[in-house]
Structure formats: structure tokens, C-alpha cells
């Protein structure tokens, strides 16, 4: 297993298949997630994230990842839940 960090930007990130998000945090005024995955996993999958402030709406089909403070702002990260084999 290995841990990498990825900058959280609005939209979709390509993460290794099966990656587990460990932490959301601010580093040098940028928001990052730290993820753990099997280092032999070279294939990626698209994962879509939404960063919202308190009082703002987020997609219903999402799950909470974490909260982090950036200067005077507090951000909440949600990941869209992808349907498996939609039919």
C-alpha cells in the first residue's frame, strides 16, 4: 500500500481504482486529499467531487468525505456516488 496526495479541484479526478480517501486538508492555501491504494494498481477511475461551504447545497447522490479549514473558510467535501452497472 502507498499514500499519495491529490489537489482537490472542482469536477472529476482520476484516482487509482479502489483508492481510499484518508484525509482532506489545506496545504499552502490549496485543498488536498490524501489517498491510500495498492501501489501495483495502475488503472484509474473517474471520481467526482464537490467542495461546498456551510449553507450551500450539494448533490443528493453524494457521500460526505471530510471538512477542512482554509484560512477563514471552512470547506466540506462530498463525492458523487456512481451507479454500478446502470440498466
56-86 tens-digit pLDDT: 988 889 999 999 998 888 999 999 997 765 5
pLDDT for 85: 54
Distance CA 54, CA 31 (A): 16
In a domain, 86, yes or no: no
Domain that holds residue 50: 2-80
Record the pTM.
0.84
pLDDT for 59: 86
- Asked if 16 contacts 35 with a C-beta cutoff of 8 angstroms, the reply is yes
Structural domains counted in the chain = 1
Average confidence score pLDDT of the chain: 91
pLDDT, average across residues 34-62: 92
Q: What are the backbone dihedrals phi and psi of residue 35, each rounded to the nearest 5 degrees, phi first?
A: -125, 150
Of 47, 49, 51, the residue nearest 67 (C-alpha): 51
In a domain, 87, yes or no: no
In a domain, 85, yes or no: no
Beta strands in the chain (DSSP E): 2-7, 11-16, 20-27, 30-37, 44-53, 62-70, 73-80
In a domain, 46, yes or no: yes
Amino acid at each position: 500500500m502507498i499514500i499519495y496526495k491529490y489537489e482537490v479541484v472542482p469536477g472529476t479526478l482520476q484516482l487509482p481504482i479502489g483508492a481510499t480517501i484518508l484525509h482532506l486538508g489545506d496545504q499552502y492555501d490549496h485543498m488536498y486529499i490524501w489517498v491510500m491504494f495498492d501501489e501495483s494498481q495502475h488503472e484509474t477511475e473517474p471520481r467526482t467531487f464537490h467542495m461546498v461551504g456551510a449553507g450551500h447545497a450539494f448533490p443528493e447522490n453524494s457521500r460526505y468525505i471530510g471538512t477542512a479549514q482554509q484560512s477563514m473558510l471552512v470547506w466540506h467535501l462530498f463525492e458523487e456516488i456512481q451507479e454500478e452497472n446502470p440498466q
